[in-house]
Chain A
Amino acid sequence: MKIGIVVFPGTWSESDTFYATKDILGFKTEYIWHKDQKLSNIDLVILPGGFSYGDYLRTGAIASFSPIIEQVIDFANKGGPVIGICNGFQILCESKLLPGILIKNKDLSFVCEWSNLKVNNDSIFTSEFKNDELIKIPISHGEGNYQAETNIINKLEDENRIIFRYSSSDGDLNEDSNPNGSINNIAGITNKKGNVLGMMPHPEKACEKLIGGDDGLGIFKSVIKKVING
C-alpha cells in the first residue's frame, strides 16, 4: 500500500496530508512533484489543498494542464482511487475527472471553520462511517461553491454520488448550514465509477483529538481498506 501526494507550486496541504496518512495512520506515503512524468507503484493518489500555481486563471486551472495530471487521469481511468481535497477538488473539476464547477462563496468571503458534514456511506471513501452519520471537518476556501447544470445535479442525486453535504449540528440540510452556497449543500462528490472523490472540506485537518477532532481519518481508512482488501 503506497499513497502518493501530488505537490504543485503553491500547494500547502501536502505535509498535513502526509502527517495524517503516514504519521497517524502509518501507511507508506510519498510526495509526487508536479513536474514528474509518472506515478510509480502508487495505490492511492491525493491532490491536496492549497493555491496551485497561485490559482491564477481559475482555481485549479493551470494545475490541470501539468504533466502529472495526465498520469493522474490515466490512473483514475484505470480505476485507481483518487481524492481531491479543496484545491484538489477544483483541479479534478478542471481536468474533467469530476463534473461541475467551484465558484466564489456566495458571500464572496474566504471561510475557515469547522463544518458538520452528513455522510453518505455508499462509497469506497466512506465505508467506515454509518449512513447519515454527522462528522466534523474544517473547511478553508474562498471558492467552494459547487455548481453544475441541473441534469448533472439530478444525475449525482440519482446515482447517489453526493458523498458529503454541509449540515447543521442537528443534521438539518438548509441554507443556514450551507457555508458557501453550494447546490444541495454539496461538500463532496464522486465520479460515476466511484473511484474519484472531490471534497472541499479538509479531512487531513481533522486527524487528532488534540486539534479538535479526528473524523477525517475515516475517509483515508475507508479507501485504504478498499485498496488492501481489493
Chain B
Amino acid sequence: MVNEETLKELALSMSEYELIVDKLGREPNGLELGLFGALWSEHCGYKHTKRLLRTIKSNSKYTLTEAGEENAGAVNIGDNKAIVMKIESHNHPSAVEPYEGAATGVGGIVRDIFAMGARPIALLNSLRFSDLNNDRNFQIAKGVVEGISGYGNCLGIPNIGGECLFDESYDNNPLVNAMCVGLVDADSILSAKAENPGDLLIIIGAETGRDGIHGASGLASQNFEETVELRSAVQVGNPFLEKLLIEACLEIAQLDELVGMQDCGAAGITSAAIEMAERSNLGLSLDVSKVPVREKGMTPYEIMLSESQERMLIAVRKNEYNKIFEVLDKWDLKCSIIGEFIKDKDVLIYNRNELISRTSIETLTSPPEYDLSKISNGFRPNYKKIQIKDSYKSFNENTVKDFIEKIISSDNLVSKKSIYKKYDHHVQTNTVIEPGSDSSVIRIKGTDKMLAFSCDGNSRLCAVDPKVGSEINIAEACRNISVTGATPIALTDGLNFGDPTKPKGAFQLLETFKGFNNACEVFDTPIISGNASLFNEGHTSSINPTPIIGAMGIMSQKIRIPDKGFSKEGHKIGVIGKNAWGTNIGLSGSEFQRIFDKDLSGEISIDLSFEKMIQENIRTLIFKNLIMSAHDVSVGGLITALILSCEQNNLGAQIDKSIPDNWAGALFGEDQSRIIFSYEEKDKNKISNILNDSDWHEIGTVTNRNIKFENILLESESLFLRYNKGFSRDI
C-alpha cells in the first residue's frame, strides 16, 4: 500500500489513489503512479476547473478551434489567415528560480503556438510582484524580467507589451503569465493528433534529462513553504535550441508526411504523448529506451516525467519520415522514433522488450472533476464597508498635491520602460504601437489588417468582488483594444488563484466564471484558450484572485490610431463615461486605497451594456478620424490618466473645473467605463452626434505645460520626472 508521503509528492489525495486502484482493478506500479500524478494534476487534468471551463463562451464566428482541444486557440482573421494565441503561467517555477522559471515559461508558450504550425509573431506578459523594497521580492522581479529578456530575445519574436503590477498579496508568490500569438494560413493549422493506427510517434529536440520532474504535479500544486527543496523541479532553458526547433518545426509543418504536432511541456512525454493519443481516439505503444537521454541510468519513471525543455512530439505516417529527418538534419536537431499509435485505446509502455505498464487511456485521462460549489458551500465573503476619511472630503491644496505626487511615483503607475526596453519589440518589423500604450498593435504583412493586443488583470478589484472584478478585467482589456480603433474578437485567460480546495478559493473561482460568462456574452468575445495556476498560497496567505485576460482586436491599416497622449496645444479634452466628479465612487479596490489606506474594501460595479456602447462609440470616432488621442481611465483614476495624457508629448492641460471637496473620488476613483480623449474644436458637433447616448463632457483644453484646475496648479515637469524615474528599485 502506498504511503501518504509518496502521494503528497505526486499531489494526489488518498481518495484519488483509491479511485485509481478501483479503476485499474489493481494497485498501480511506481511508474503508473507517476503517470496518474501528472495527468491528474490541475495543470493537465483541470480537476477543479474543468466543469467551469465547459460553461464558458468559447466560440464565435471567428473561432477555428474548440476550446481545450489543441495546444492553443485559433481565430480566422480573413485572407485565409488565422491567429493562434494562448496565455500560460509559470508562477511556481519563477518563485523558486526566477530567471529560469520565467525563461522556460516563455519557451513553453512559444512551443504551444508553433505546435499548431503557426509562426510566433508576438509575445506579451503579465507580471505580478510584491513590494520591491523587500529584498526577496526585488530579487524575484529582477530575475523574472531578465529571464524573459534572456530567453525571448534569442527567438526573434517581438515582445510587444503586457503589464506589471505590484501588490502585497504576491509576497514570495510572483505571477508570471506569458502570452504568445502566432500566424498561420487558416487552412494549414496543425492538429495535435495522430490519424491512424501505425502512425509513428517521434520526439525531436533536446535530450531528456532529470530536470523538472514533478513540475506539473508537484510545483504547481503545493504551497511555497515546501518549495525550498524543489529546485531540481525547475527546468533550465536553452533558447538557441528553441529557435532551431521553431524553424525546423515550421518547415516540417509544410510536409504532407506530418500528421500532428504536440508541445512536450508540463508533465513531459507522459502528458504530451498520452493526450495526443486520447485526442486521436487511439492508443499508444511507447518504448522509453528509445528516448534520447542526457545521462545514463535514467529510470523509465524519470524519462516519462522529465520536463526537459525544447522538446516536441510529432506524429508521422509510417515509413514516411525521410523528408522530415532531412529537415531535422539540416537544423542539426536530434530525433528518435519512440512509439507508434495503436488501435486499442491503451497506453503500453516498454523498456526495451519488457512491457512495464499497460493502462487504458480513458482511465489515465479522466481525473475526478470536483464540484467547486460543494467546496465553497456556505462561504460568505467578508465584505467590508468602505471608510472615507474626513480629510478626503475637504479640499486642501497641499494635501491633494502631496497625494498626486505619491500616486504617480507608485510602482504600479510609473513608466515600465525599464522593463520593456530589455525586450526586443521591433523584430519581424510589424510593430505599429510599441509597449507603453493601452494596447500594442502589429500589422499583418500581405493583408490590410492590424491587430491590437492587451493584457489586463486588476486583482484588487477581483479581491473586493471576484465576479464584478472579472467582468471589469474583460471590459478593460476590450477597452484598451477599442481605444486604438480595433474591435476585440478573442480572449485568452490566465487563471491565477489560491487553493481551490478551500472554500474561499473555490468561491473566487466560481464567481470569476460567472463574471467571465456575463462579459464574454456582452462583448461577443470568446475565450479561446487559457491556463489555470491554482494553489498560489505564498508564505502567509493566498494571492488576490488574479484572472488575467489577454485580448486581441482587429482593424484595418487604413485606420489612423489615435495617440495615447495629447498631441497639440489648443486641442480640446473630453471624457467619455458617467460623471463621477464630486462623488466617492471608484475608490474601492483602487490604487489610492492600497497606498494611502492599506485597505481593500467597499463595493465595485460595472454596467456592461454601457461599457459596450462607449467602446463602440470610441471606435466610431476613431474610424471617422475625429479624435487625436484616446486613453483608458483605469488604475490611479482620472488625474493619473490626465497626467499621462500630458506626459506623452510633454504638454499640459487647462481643466475648466475646480477640484471638489470630495477630491479623493474625483481624482483617484477608478470608476469604470471612462476614456479621456482629445480632439480639434471644429469636430465637436460631429463628436457630440456620435456620442449622443454616452455620457461625455468637454473638460478642458490642451496647453503647453502644467495642469491647471480652477483652484490648483500642478507643475507638470516634476510629475513627469517622477513618472519617468521608474520603479523604486531598478528592475
The residues of A with any CB-CB pair to B shorter than 8 Å are 9-10, 12-13, 15-16, 19-20, 23, 50-51, 53-56, 109-113, 138, 140, 142, 202, 204-205, 207-208, 210-212
Contacts and interface: CB of A to CB of B under 8 A. Distances in A.
A10 B244 contact: yes
Nearest to B145: A109
Nearest to A204: B429
Contacts of A212: 426, 431-432, 434
Given A13-B156, A51-B243, A211 B422 contact: no
Given A9-B331, A10-B240, A50-B156, A111 B445 contact: no
Interface stretch (B103-111, B147-155, B294-302): B147-155
A113 B427 contact: no
Contacts of B423: 110, 112
B427 A16 contact: yes
A12 B250 CA distance: 14
Contacts of B648: none
Given A9-B332, A112-B424, A211-B443, A16 B429 contact: yes
A25 B685 CA distance: 44
Nearest to B153: A110
B401 interface: no
B149 A110 contact: yes
Contact of A9 (B244, B427, B434): B244
Which secondary structure characterizes the binding site on chain B?
Answer: loop
Q: Indicate the member of A10, A111, A207 with the most B CB atoms within 10 Å.
A: A10
Q: Indicate the member of A15, A51, A111, A211 with the most B CB atoms within 10 Å.
A: A211
Interface in B317-337: 331-332
A15 B425 CA distance: 16
A166 B22 CA distance: 71
B445 A19 contact: yes
Given A51-B240, A211-B443, A212-B431, A112 B421 contact: yes
Contacts of B150: 110
Chain B contact-residue range equals 20 to 34
Contacts of A55: 154, 240
Given A110-B150, A140-B426, 20 more contacts: A9-B240, A9-B332, A12-B427, A13-B156, A13-B427, A51-B243, A109-B421, A110-B149, A110-B153, A111-B421, A112-B420, A112-B422, A112-B424, A112-B425, A142-B153, A204-B429, A205-B426, A210-B432, A210-B443, A212-B432
A204 B445 CA distance: 15
Interface of B: 149-150, 153-156, 238-241, 243-244, 331-332, 420-432, 434, 443, 445, 557
Contacts of B430: 211
A137 B420 CA distance: 17
Contacts of B156: 12-13, 50
B429 A19 contact: yes
A110 B244 contact: no
Nearest to A52: B240
B153 A54 contact: no
A52 to B, nearest CB: 9
A208 to B, nearest CB: 7
A44 B317 CA distance: 43
Contacts of A109: 149, 421-422
Given A9-B332, A54-B239, A16 B428 contact: yes
A111 B155 CA distance: 16
